Structure 1
C-alpha cells in the first residue's frame, strides 16, 4: 500500500490541459478511490480562490485549496490559514514598480479578499485570458488606495523577462516580498518567506501528515519549493527545466495527455 496520504497539484500547465479542462469522469472516479484509500486531494495554485472553485466545480468533491501561492488556505469553505502582505508594503511596492519604467508591467493587479483590483487604464494583451483567470475584477483609480486584505500582487511582463524581473524585485524589496515567475508572462508577488511549500506544510501539519507522505505536481518556477519539499515531487513533462531539476519524477505524459491523472493511477496502484 502506498505511503502517500496527500496529493497536491498545480493547475495551469499541470492539471489542466492546453484547452483549460480535464477529464471530469476519470478524475471523479479517482477521487472516490483516493477517499477510500485515505488520501487527501489538494489544489495548490497561484490563482485566487474564486477562480479555482470555478475550475473544479465539475468535481465538487474537491474542497481543499492552497490558493495565492500559499497565502490563503481554505478547506470546505473554512479559512484555515492566511498570510496577507501588509498594506504598507503593498503600497510601497506598487508605488515603486509603477514609478520605474524598467519595472512597470503592462498590467498590475492586487488579489484581495473581496476582489482583484487593477487600475482603470490598464489593458492586458489578452483580455479573454484576464476574464478567465479573474472573475472578481474591480477597477480603481489608484491601487495605492485599495483597503482590503491583499494576498498577492500580480503583474504581466514579457515572458522572456519574468525571471530577471522577479530577481530584481526580490533584490529591491528584501524581506518584504517574495516574487516568483508563475508562467505565461506573469509574476506573483507574495508575502516574504511564503510559497506553496509553506502553505502546504501548514495544511499537512494540521492533518498530521509528514512531508514524506505528500506527492505534489507542478510545471513552473512557483512550484519549485513545493516539489523540493515533499516526498514525491512530480514535474510535468511540459514543465520548465528549473522544476524538472528539483523533481523526483517527471510525468511520462504531458498535461495534454492526462499526465497528472496517469501518475495518480500509478500511486493508487502502489507502483511508485
Structure 2
C-alpha cells in the first residue's frame, strides 16, 4: 500500500451509525495513533460547518473540515478556501426549480456563511432530521432576496427520485451548477467545478500531500468523485452501487458496525 498521509471521511451513512453517533473512545485512541504516524484526519461532508463541529465535539482533536461538498475548507477555525454560488445563479436556479412541477421539491434551503435559509411557509418531510442537521436555520419570505455568501442549494425530494432529479437539474443548468444526490432524499447543488474531490485535493496540496497518499471513505453519490480520485477509495458496505463501482475497497462491516474504524486500524497496521 502507498504510504497514507491523510484520511478523509464522509459523515452520515459512513462514519456515523444509524443512531448518529460513533465510538468516541475507540476513535480518540485512533486519532492519537494517527498523529503519532503523521497521518492527518479530515471530515469531508455535504453538511454545513456548524453541524460538523457539533458532531465531532466529543473528539476535539478533529479540527479540519471540507464542508458543503468541498465549498468550504476550514482548518483549526481558519478558512483556507471557499467556493460560492454567485447570487444571480442562486436566484435563477431557485426561481426555475420552484416554477417547474417536475423539479419542484418539498422545500429548498440555501446554505450560507451566516445561516441556512428556507422559506417561512415551507416544512420539511422530516422536521426532526432538519433540526438535527441544521442548527442555523433562518426563515425568510423569499429565497431570491437572500443576500449572503451561498455555498450550496439543498432540496428535499422523494428518496427514490433523487438520482433522476439530480440528472435533470444538471441538464437544465449546464455549466452553472453541480447537482448530486447526497442521500436521505436530499440533493446538494454546488458550484459547477466543485465536489469533495476538488476540495480535498486543495486542502491536501497545502500540506504537500498528493491524491495517491489519501484514503477516503464514503457511501453516497456525492462521495463518488472523492473515492475515484484518491489512492485508496473505500466504499461502505451499506453504500450505493455507484460508489462501490469506483472504490478500491469495500468495508467488511457497515456504518452500524464501525466499518470506518476497522479500516483505519488496518491502515495504521499497514503503515507500520
TM-score range for the pair, normalised by the shorter chain length: over 0.9
CA drift of 1:125 comes to 1.3
Structure 1 segment 57-76 matched on structure 2, within 5 A: 57-76=57-76
- The corresponding residue for 1:203 is 203
* Structure 1 SS opposite 2:162: helix
Conservation of the 8 A alpha-carbon contact between 2:4 and 2:271 = no
* Structure 1 SS opposite 2:270: coil
Give the distance between the partners of 2:55 and 2:196, measured in 1 at CA. Answer: 19
2:249 is aligned with 1:259: no
Give the distance between the partners of 1:209 and 1:2, measured in 2 at CA. Answer: 12
CA drift of 1:130 comes to 0.2
CA drift of 1:167 comes to 0.4
* Structure 2 SS opposite 1:131: helix
2:14 is aligned with 1:17: no
Structure 1 segment 38-49 matched on structure 2, within 5 A: 38-49=38-49
Give the distance between the partners of 1:143 and 1:271, measured in 2 at CA. Answer: 49
Unaligned runs of 5+ in 2: none
- The corresponding residue for 1:125 is 125
CA drift of 1:35 comes to 0.3
RMSD: 1.1
User: Could you list the per-position Cα deviations for residues 79-113 of structure 1 after superposition, in whole angstroms to 9, with x for gaps in the alignment?
Assistant: 00000000000000000001111111001000000
CA drift of 1:246 comes to 0.2
* Structure 1 SS opposite 2:238: coil
User: Could you list the per-position Cα deviations for residues 162-194 of structure 1 after superposition, in whole angstroms to 9, with x for gaps in the alignment?
Assistant: 011000000010110000000000000000011
* Structure 2 SS opposite 1:201: helix
* Structure 2 SS opposite 1:187: strand
2:145 is aligned with 1:152: no
Conservation of the 8 A alpha-carbon contact between 1:6 and 1:42 = yes
User: Could you list the per-position Cα deviations for residues 172-218 of structure 1 after superposition, in whole angstroms to 9, with x for gaps in the alignment?
Assistant: 10110000000000000000011000000000111100111000000
- The corresponding residue for 2:161 is 161
Give the distance between the partners of 1:39 and 1:271, measured in 2 at CA. Answer: 10
User: Could you list the per-position Cα deviations for residues 138-181 of structure 1 after superposition, in whole angstroms to 9, with x for gaps in the alignment?
Assistant: 00000000000000000000011101100000001011000000
Number of residue pairs matched by the alignment: 272
Give the distance between the partners of 1:239 and 1:108, measured in 2 at CA. Answer: 25
- The corresponding residue for 2:182 is 182
Unaligned runs of 5+ in 1: none
CA drift of 1:271 comes to 7.4
Give the distance between the partners of 1:257 and 1:165, measured in 2 at CA. Answer: 31
